[in-house]
């Protein structure tokens, strides 16, 4: 049944708001009428709230009491495909629809009245009096280049009062201007030729172009080692999409990667795309959100939440590094942007390209089954070959206590930097040391609010909890036995590794890349650019460096502890280690020089380690797939995690046990419930955490059964319940 697309003044319309009401509300269309999908402001009790006209009113309320829509906002109505997407995404993730709508309306100033807004940018003169507050404002301006900010945003980012900003404007250190109406983005020249592609690249590009030209839904796995030209190839699909007047979205897992990507787009298409991530100013976010809806932006590059922009006509979604765990949002609405990209595309006749050197098992299986098409890029572009990978058997290495770089790796580093090449040492542990122990009493310093050890960050001079972020100064005495001067670090973090490197290679320039060492995304970007230009000899990094950065002079990758990811009982431990090791190794030898990767391991005979070294990738995936199939685990079965948390430990276990007892709706579809069991991290921010795991057969109607199951019980007020469909982490 086709729904009306326009409602005349006085018609009953159903409006969906972001309020947790569990249903739409009826209003009367305002004077002048409104379109289906229109963004509106409606009265709700004494307040006015933002909403979207969802369809015809449902009726059944006292007609005399139905109020009129307050006003229609100055934004393009949300298209029907987008509305459907939100409904389906809400159903899939068992998220209330209003919460889904809130994800899709994160546009600052959406409800602002039309008309100019005042914005601030850097002015002509330096501040006359340099107070600390003023310096912070100027630092924010530096961080964002030439960006403009509204008063409240600038004050907020700098952590100062608005009067500081106004004071700076008054003396000319800031210029104050009326921002024009949000302008469309410059057009990308889709017709410009790209780089001359190799035969293999051209075949892949032609296939993607044809798919986009077909104008219907489809998903393609674009698989190729880092450096094989995947980006070059999918930019051809972008060109085709733009040439057809449709919009394209490229999702990247890491803000720091966008700088490189933006430059490439500008090279290729003569202008920059719209950018959507946490490092973009509110003024730009507002503009992009609007332009997505109006069709005033052709290409958007962004983080996972860009998937919820109200594109007017989305024809292509690229998910680059599709295996990356950051595509899974782990708080608030729990969704996987990769899977939601496929859903969204299927509803708006768009193509999806999943690009990766190491796709996740789900994607690999979908490609094997023919649900996704698969395009392979075999060789690296140009002379560069995949690095040679070797295990260093740590059982045979003489290692002094407190050191982590074995003689074999140390010699390799010395040789590389001696030739003016770069070496990367990979250790996926932030901070100085993961454990701080008292040598007098054996006490290990833990977080007061979480079931986790405090991690020493010597750079900050503090102990930090990686679960809740709480921190404290490094104490002088043991908190337990009060002995002074007996606290000692145990195990390495990147900061401690940096000390070892400085001691072993005193002449080398060392750069540590760890997210916590940089004050802003821009500072990190600058550092990465500097390293790429040769600004460091030895790079020490966490998994931050595994993600697609291009360091041409880098020829050696040393993995300090290749066994790290294999510990623990995570379903995906093998898969993750395999991906991470290959990604990291792929950093070496991206330009002409041949690279080498050394993996320090105590178990070189471990099947995962052997698969990594042998390079028999499909063999690894087949074995991993067979193991999952035998266990009925994803993607051959379905999982859902239920995470309960409460300050009251008894309440959380009791509720979990009660849920487990009432599992009839789940059994009906052949699913089982495991638990309740204390979560691996059993307490976070003072809340006790308990998990249940639901495991069902593939193809079962899991969401419906889960909803029915959970509806039987009302959690006590202090208890939080989160449902994690297709969980990726089990902490």
Q: Which residues bind Zn ion (CB under 5 A)?
A: 447, 449-450, 465, 467-468, 470
Cis peptide leading into residue 635 (ω within 30°): yes
Which among ligand ADP, Zn ion, none contacts residue 470 (Cβ within 5 to 8 A by kind)? Zn ion
Which among ligand ADP, Zn ion, none contacts residue 230 (Cβ within 5 to 8 A by kind)? ligand ADP
Concatenated DSSP letters of 27-58: EE--TT-EETT-EEEEEETTEEEEEEEEEE--
Gap between the Cα atoms of 190 and 192, Å rounded? 6
533: contact with ligand ADP by CB under 6 A:
no
**Measured CA distances, 291 to 149, 309, 311, 382 (Å):** 18, 10, 8, 39
385 and 585 in contact (C-beta within 8 Å)? no
User: Tell me, what DSSP letter sits at residue 197?
Assistant: P
Q: Which of 232, 240, 456, 596 binds ligand ADP (CB under 6 A)?
A: 232
Which among ligand ADP, Zn ion, none contacts residue 201 (Cβ within 5 to 8 A by kind)? ligand ADP
- Return the number of the residue (465 or 528) whose C-beta is nearest Zn ion: 465
**Measured CA distances, 686 to 16, 188, 224 (Å):** 35, 51, 45
Which secondary-structure segment (H or E) carries 438? strand 435-438
What would the 3-class secondary structure string for 626-687 be? HHHHHHCCCCCEEEEEEEEEECCHHHHHHHHHHHHHCCHHHHCCCCEEEEEEEEEEEEECCE
- Return the number of the residue (353 or 608) whose C-beta is nearest ligand ADP: 353
* Nearest distance, CB of residue 534 and ligand ADP, angstroms: 16
Count of residues for the chain? 731
* Nearest distance, CB of residue 232 and ligand ADP, angstroms: 4
Q: Which of 17, 24, 95, 201 binds ligand ADP (CB under 6 A)?
A: 201
> Can you count the helices (H) and strands (E) in the chain?
20, 31
- Residue 706 in tokens: 């889960």
Q: Which of 37, 127, 227, 565 binds ligand ADP (CB under 6 A)?
A: 227
**Binding positions for ligand ADP, 251-280, rule CB under 6 A:** none
Alpha carbon 225 to its chain's center? 21
529: contact with ligand ADP by CB under 6 A:
no
- 3-state DSSP call for residue 176? strand
| Beta bridge partner(s), residue 220 | 353, 373
* Rg from Cα positions in the chain: 27
- Return the number of the residue (323 or 688) whose C-beta is nearest Zn ion: 688
* Nearest distance, CB of residue 201 and ligand ADP, angstroms: 5
- Residue 575 in tokens: 């898969």
* Nearest distance, CB of residue 483 and Zn ion, angstroms: 24
Interacting span for ligand ADP (CB under 6 A) from 227-235, 483-491, 508-516, 650-658: 227-235
Which among Zn ion, ligand ADP, none contacts residue 381 (Cβ within 5 to 8 A by kind)? ligand ADP
Q: Which of 117, 122, 230, 593 binds ligand ADP (CB under 6 A)?
A: 230
278 and 249 in contact (C-beta within 8 Å)? no
Gap between the Cα atoms of 525 and 258, Å rounded? 9
Gap between the Cα atoms of 421 and 597, Å rounded? 14
* Nearest distance, CB of residue 269 and ligand ADP, angstroms: 14
224: contact with ligand ADP by CB under 6 A:
yes
- Return the number of the residue (172 or 680) whose C-beta is nearest Zn ion: 680
Give me the phi and psi of 234, to 5 degrees please. -75, -20
- Return the number of the residue (590 or 638) whose C-beta is nearest ligand ADP: 590
First to last CA, the chain: 45
- Return the number of the residue (229 or 541) whose C-beta is nearest ligand ADP: 229
715 and 655 in contact (C-beta within 8 Å)? yes
**Binding positions for ligand ADP, 378-437, rule CB under 6 A:** 381
Give me the phi and psi of 204, to 5 degrees please. -65, -45
Q: How many residues belong to the site for ligand ADP (CB under 6 A)?
A: 14
* Nearest distance, CB of residue 491 and Zn ion, angstroms: 19
- Return the number of the residue (261 or 432) whose C-beta is nearest ligand ADP: 261
* Nearest distance, CB of residue 449 and Zn ion, angstroms: 4
Which among Zn ion, ligand ADP, none contacts residue 227 (Cβ within 5 to 8 A by kind)? ligand ADP
Which secondary-structure segment (H or E) carries 623? helix 617-631
* Nearest distance, CB of residue 444 and Zn ion, angstroms: 14
Q: Which of 105, 220, 228, 283 binds ligand ADP (CB under 6 A)?
A: 228
Gap between the Cα atoms of 548 and 557, Å rounded? 14
**Binding positions for ligand ADP, 324-383, rule CB under 6 A:** 381
Q: Which of 226, 282, 283, 336 binds ligand ADP (CB under 6 A)?
A: 226
229: contact with ligand ADP by CB under 6 A:
yes
223: contact with ligand ADP by CB under 6 A:
no
Which secondary-structure segment (H or E) carries 318? strand 314-320
- Return the number of the residue (261 or 432) whose C-beta is nearest Zn ion: 432
* Nearest distance, CB of residue 591 and ligand ADP, angstroms: 9
**Binding positions for ligand ADP, 160-199, rule CB under 6 A:** 195-198
Which among Zn ion, ligand ADP, none contacts residue 447 (Cβ within 5 to 8 A by kind)? Zn ion
The residues, ordered by sequence, that sit 6+ positions from 65 with a Cβ below 8 Å of its Cβ are none
> Comparing C-alpha atoms, which of 140, 49, 86 is closest to residue 523?
140
Which among ligand ADP, Zn ion, none contacts residue 93 (Cβ within 5 to 8 A by kind)? none
Interacting span for ligand ADP (CB under 6 A) from 59-67, 225-233, 462-470, 721-729: 225-233
Question: What is the contact surface with ligand ADP in residues (CB under 6 A)?
Answer: 195-198, 201, 224, 226-232, 381
């Amino acid at each position: 049944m086709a729904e009306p697309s326009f409602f005349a003044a006085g018609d009953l319309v159903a409006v969906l708001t972001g309020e947790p009401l569990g249903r739409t509300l009826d209003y009367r269309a305002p004077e002048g009428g409104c379109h289906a999908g229109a963004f509106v402001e409606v009265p709700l009790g004494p307040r006015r709230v933002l909403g979207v006209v969802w369809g015809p009113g449902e009726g059944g309320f006292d007609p005399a009491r139905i109020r009129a829509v307050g006003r229609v906002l100055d934004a393009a109505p949300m298209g029907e495909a987008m509305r459907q997407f939100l409904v389906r995404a809400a159903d899939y993730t068992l998220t209330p629809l209003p919460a889904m709508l809130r994800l899709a309306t994160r546009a600052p100033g959406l409800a602002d009245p039309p008309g100019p807004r005042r914005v601030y940018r850097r002015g002509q003169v330096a501040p006359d009096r340099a107070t600390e507050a003023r310096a912070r404002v100027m630092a924010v301006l530096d961080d964002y280049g030439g960006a403009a900010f509204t008063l409240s945003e600038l004050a907020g980012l700098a952590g100062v009062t608005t009067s500081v900003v106004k004071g700076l404007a008054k003396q000319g250190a800031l210029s104050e201007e009326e921002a024009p109406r949000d302008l469309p983005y410059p057009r990308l020249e889709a017709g410009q030729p790209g780089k001359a592609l190799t035969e293999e690249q051209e075949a892949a590009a032609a296939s993607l172009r044809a798919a986009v030209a077909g104008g219907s839904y489809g998903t393609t796995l674009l698989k190729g080692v880092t450096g094989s030209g995947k980006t070059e190839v999918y930019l051809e699909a972008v060109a085709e999409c733009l040439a057809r007047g449709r919009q394209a979205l490229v999702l990247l897992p890491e803000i720091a990667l966008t700088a490189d990507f933006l430059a490439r787009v500008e090279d290729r298409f003569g202008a920059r795309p719209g950018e959507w991530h946490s490092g973009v100013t509110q003024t730009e976010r507002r503009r992009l959100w609007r332009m997505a809806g109006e069709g005033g932006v052709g290409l958007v590059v962004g983080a996972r939440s860009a998937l919820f922009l109200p594109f007017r006509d989305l024809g292509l979604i690229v998910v680059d590094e599709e295996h990356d765990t950051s595509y899974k949002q782990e708080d608030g609405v729990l969704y996987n942007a990769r899977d939601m990209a496929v859903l969204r595309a299927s509803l708006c006749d768009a193509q999806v390209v999943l690009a990766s050197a190491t796709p996740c098992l789900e994607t690999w299986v979908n490609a094997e089954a023919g649900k996704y098409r698969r395009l392979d890029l075999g060789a690296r572009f140009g002379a560069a070959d995949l690095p040679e990978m070797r295990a260093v058997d740590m059982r045979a290495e003489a290692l002094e206590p407190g050191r982590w770089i074995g003689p074999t790796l140390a010699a390799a580093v010395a040789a590389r930097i001696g030739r003016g090449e770069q070496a990367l040492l990979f250790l996926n542990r932030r901070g100085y040391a993961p454990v701080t122990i008292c040598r007098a009493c054996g006490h290990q310093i833990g977080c007061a609010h979480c079931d986790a050890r405090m991690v020493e960050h010597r750079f900050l001079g503090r102990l930090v909890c990686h679960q809740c972020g709480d921190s404290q100064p490094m104490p002088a005495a043991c908190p337990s036995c009060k002995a002074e001067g007996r606290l000692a670090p145990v195990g390495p973090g990147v900061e401690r590794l940096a000390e070892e490197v400085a001691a072993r290679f005193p002449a080398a320039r060392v750069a540590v890349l760890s997210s916590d060492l940089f004050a802003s995304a821009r500072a990190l970007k600058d550092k990465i650019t500097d390293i790429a230009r040769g600004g460091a000899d030895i790079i020490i990094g966490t998994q931050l460096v595994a993600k697609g950065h291009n360091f041409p002079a880098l020829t050696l990758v040393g993995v300090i502890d290749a066994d790290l990811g294999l510990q623990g009982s995570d379903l995906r431990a093998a898969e993750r280690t395999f991906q991470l090791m290959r990604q990291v190794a792929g950093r070496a030898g991206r330009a002409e020089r041949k690279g080498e990767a050394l993996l320090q391991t105590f178990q070189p005979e471990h099947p995962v380690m052997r698969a990594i070294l042998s390079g028999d990738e499909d063999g690894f995936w087949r074995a991993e797939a067979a193991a999952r199939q035998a266990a009925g685990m994803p993607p051959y079965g379905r999982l859902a995690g239920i995470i309960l948390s409460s300050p009251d430990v008894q309440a959380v276990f009791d509720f979990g046990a009660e849920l487990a007892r009432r599992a009839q709706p789940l059994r009906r579809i052949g699913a089982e419930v495991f638990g309740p069991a204390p979560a691996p991290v059993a307490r976070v921010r003072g809340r006790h955490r308990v998990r249940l795991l639901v495991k069902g057969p593939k193809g079962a109607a899991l969401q419906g059964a889960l909803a029915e199951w959970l509806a039987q019980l009302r959690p006590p007020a202090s208890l939080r319940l989160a449902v994690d469909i297709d969980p990726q982490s089990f902490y």
